[in-house]
Structures are given as structure tokens and as C-alpha cells.
Amino acid sequence: MSILLAISSIMVIGIVLLDGFEALLLPRRVLRKFRLARYYYVLSWQMWKSVARAIGSRKRREAFLSVYGPLSIVVLFAIWASGLIVGFAVLQQSLDTPLNTPGGERTPIDYFYMSGVTMFTLGYGDVTPASSLGRIIAVIESGVGFGFLAAVIGYLPVLYSAFSRRELPISLLDARAGSPPTATEALVRAGRSHEHASMLSHLSEWEHWAAEVLESHLSFPVLTFYRSQHDNQSWLAALTAVLDTCAIIMSHLEEIDSTQATLTFAMARHAAVDLAQIYRSAPLQIDEPRITPDEITRIRTALVSAGYRVRHDERSAAKMNELRAMYEPFVLALGRHFVLDVPRVIAADAVVDNWQTSAWMRRSIGLGALPLGRRFDDHDE
């Protein structure tokens, strides 16, 4: 029995260390099916989503969902630390290593207490190993604990730095594409501002953004659970808007070079497909189309009014449908998995930017009379 306990404790320690290494230090996707962190996130996220769906208020539901990402990191660290403490305590007890205790007797509580003190390198000295083997195990545990704490401390700044880099371009979309962002609104606002040429540079920036989202979310999958500051914005909505914009340019617009749009489309689709594969979110087909023929007509009309030369033939519509079929099933699957709204290609109602919903901002810049149903570009100068 002692040998089995020793082997089991060593296996627990090894599993925890390997899982922590893969999650914190290994900068690539792990294909192995059995992973402690993976099962933890699968089970906990399903339970968290079930509770969230029972919340009637959208605002409260979003606030509840936004807690999961940061809280899951804290709980995962606690699980790893508990696994190491239990593993080393059981190892010491299974080997029957003697202890120096205040009462002179050894109990399982003494082994767990000594393991916890050693793991966090507190060094109280009231319970200590009394044999060479016990001291060796204690030194190994203290080294593991020190390295574990260092990895955790170094992990959090990197994680939040990646989160900030992801969110900055999303915040910039508010004035450029509305909230939630839509491809039609982004193109219309660029056209009304006579920024047709600058659209290519924006697409280049979004190509780099999509690449960074792919790299950071593969290295730190927990980032996918971190939600944006506003309920009507998200990394998935921004990614979908970029894909929709590229699809419209490649299929409908004549005067804009589609080379950069093709490159951005490829990178953004790569990100959507890979993230769907990581979370085993099978491509989702829905009965109701994401864009209707009437909306195609509205999109063309809006683009023409913004100064674009638009193709009106059937080939352009077929081309757009072909492009949409390459990414829509994946973004819809991600939206269902993460409980995130996928924006439409064109907004159903008048667009309201987030900055327009702030009463303080309207008073301070003299826009108190600006109807909230009107777009920023429609405001009289």
C-alpha cells in the first residue's frame, strides 16, 4: 500500500507540473487529449454558462460572464498548488519519513502542514523532516514551490499585456464601425470621410491584429474568456466585422485593390478556424441566413451613397456568399460556445456609438441635442 501511495503521489506531482508547464510556459498548442487544465475549463465553463443563461437581465448576464476569465485563473492556480501540496504530503507519509513535531507524534495533518509551509517557502520551523530522505524531498518541494510562484507571477503581466493589445483596436472600432461593429458601417464611414485609400492601411493593421489574436489565444487560451469593457463589443465581433469587410471589398467594390483585403481575409479566417478547432466547436449551420437578399440590396445602396463603385451583378452576390461560407460557420460556433453575439453584415437599426450613450460626454462637448438614433457621420457640423 505504501508503494502504491508513493507512486500515485509522484504521478499527481508530475501531472500538475506538466500541466502547469504546458499552460504557462509552452508557447504552442498541446494536442494531447488528457490535460488537467482542459478538463477543468470544459467542465467549469459549461456550468458557468448554464447559470448565466438563467439570468434574465442581459447586463447582469454579461457582468456574470465577464467574471469567469479572471476567476478561472485564480481557481486553476489554487488547484495546481493544492495538487502539489497533497502530492508531496502523501509522498512523505507513504515513505514514513520521521518528523520533528512539537508534540513528538506524527499525524497526517503534520505532513500536510509541513508540505504547505515548504511549498510556499514560509519556513516556520515548528514541523521539520528528521531524516535525510525527508530533507531531500523537502528541498525539492521548496524548489518546485519557488519556481511555481515565479511562473505565476511572470504569467499574469504577460496575459494582461496581451489582453490590452487585443482590446485597443477593438475600442478604436467604435467610431469607425459602430457598436457592435458592422462591415457596412465601417465602409460607409470611410467613404463619407473620403478615406477610400486609407482603408487599405486599416486592413493591413487588422491583418496584424488577427495574427496577434491567433498567436496570443493559442499561447494563452484563457484570453478567449476575457470579455471587452462594453457589452456590445468583443474580440469575436471585431474579427467577424473584419471578415465581412474583406468579403464585401473582394466581391462588390471595384476601385479598391482587393490584394490587401485577400491577405487580411486569409489571416482572420485562419484565426477563426483555429480557435474553433481548439475548443472543438464544430462549424455551425443555421436555418436563418445571416444576411438576406434585401440586406444585400441595402448594403449596395449604402455603399453607392458613400461614393463607392459597386458591382450589382449576380456574380458579386455569389462571390460574397462563397466567401461567407468559408468563415461564418466557425464564427457562429465560437459565438455559441463563448456566449458572444455575432454582428450582422449591416445593422438592422440606426447605429449608436458607445460614446453617444454617455450623458456626461454629450453635455461636455455640446451634443445634448444629438439624437441617439443618428450616426456620428450624420451629425451636422
Question: pLDDT at position 46, please?
Answer: 95
Residue 113 has pLDDT above 90, yes or no: yes
**pLDDT digit string, tens, across residues 320-351:** 989 999 999 999 999 999 999 999 898 877 66
CA separation for the pair 24, 221 (Å, rounded): 10
Residues paired with residue 310 on neighbouring β-strands, in sequence order: 253
308 compared with 362, residue with greater pLDDT:
308
CB 87 within 8 A of CB 9: yes
Question: pLDDT at position 356, please?
Answer: 67
What's the predicted TM-score (pTM) here?
0.84
Task: For cell 457621420, name the residue.
Answer: 377
**pLDDT digit string, tens, across residues 194-251:** 766 677 788 899 999 999 999 999 888 899 999 998 878 899 999 999 999 999 999 9
Is the preceding omega at residue 180 within 30 degrees of 0, hence cis?
yes
Question: pLDDT at position 365, please?
Answer: 47
Question: pLDDT at position 194, please?
Answer: 72
Residue 375 has pLDDT above 70, yes or no: no
Phi/psi class of residue 29: alpha, beta or left (left: φ > 0; alpha: ψ in -120 to 50)?
beta
Residue 381 has pLDDT above 60, yes or no: no
Task: For cell 496577434, name the residue.
Answer: 212
Task: State the DSSP H helix or E strand holding residue 128, giving kind and residue range, or none if neither.
Answer: strand 128-129
In CATH, what class is 2-154? mainly alpha
Residue 369 has pLDDT above 50, yes or no: no
CB 346 within 8 A of CB 298: yes
Average confidence (pLDDT) over 9-24: 91
Question: pLDDT at position 368, please?
Answer: 45
Domain regions of the chain by residue span: 2-154, 178-348
Residue 67 has pLDDT above 90, yes or no: yes
Question: pLDDT at position 122, please?
Answer: 83
Residue 65 has pLDDT above 60, yes or no: yes
**pLDDT digit string, tens, across residues 44-64:** 999 999 999 999 888 899 999
- Maximum distance among all Cα pairs of the chain, rounded to whole angstroms: 90
Neighbouring residues of 353: CB distance < 8 A, sequence distance ≥ 6:
174, 175, 178, 179, 375, 376
**pLDDT digit string, tens, across residues 272-324:** 999 998 888 888 877 677 888 888 889 999 999 988 889 888 898 899 989 99
Question: pLDDT at position 2, please?
Answer: 83
Of the listed ranges 3-12, 35-44, 209-218, 363-372, the one predicted with least confidence? 363-372
